[in-house]
Amino acid sequence: MLEIGDTAPDFTLPCIDASGRPGTLALAALRLQPVVLFFYPRDATTSCTREAQDFSRLAPEFAALGARVVGVSKDSPASHLRFLQKQRLQVTLVSDEGADLCERFGAWGPKKLYGKAYEGILRTTFLIGGDGRIAAVWRVARVAGHAEAVLAALQGAES
């Protein structure tokens, strides 16, 4: 698991930007600006939708601080596009279909659902500074209030 002060692993993966355009996103291209990278299990599920909506609602405030908000899941770009359009999301969604990025960030591991154990995405958020280093890490247990906590941390880092 990456910790505060570690350099964030670079990546180049398919994405859908907030306007619905497909493309690729490279973390290195975002250097010099803060990046909020949130890993979530699956498009269109209740908690994941709430989390993406909360980050979208606060997108103007993140942008005012120069930050880019990026969500990552194993869903395909086509799934991301449907999710983004249906929910009117204002964040970029990255497709990590092989879960390589999830593993490199430590956002992949054992989970349980209805008593059944499996491997999956662990809801985790990283605040990456403009220098490419991890400034904060959240291992999210509750979605409610999470986006606000990330924004508050970014505001604190800016002062």
* 3-class state of residue 27 by DSSP: helix
Quick check: 73 and 96 in contact, CB under 8 A? yes
Pairing of strands 35-39, 22-26: unpaired
Instruction: State the catalytic residue, choosing from 48, 91, 150, 151.
Output: 48
Q: Is 48 considered catalytic here?
A: yes
The strand pairing partners of 25, in sequence order, are: 13
The strand pairing partners of 139, in sequence order, are: 124
User: Between the CA atoms of 82, 84, 85 and 87, what dihedral angle is there, to the nearest 10 degrees?
Assistant: 110
Pick from 150, 152, 159, 139: nearest CA to 35:
150
Q: Which residues are catalytic?
A: 48
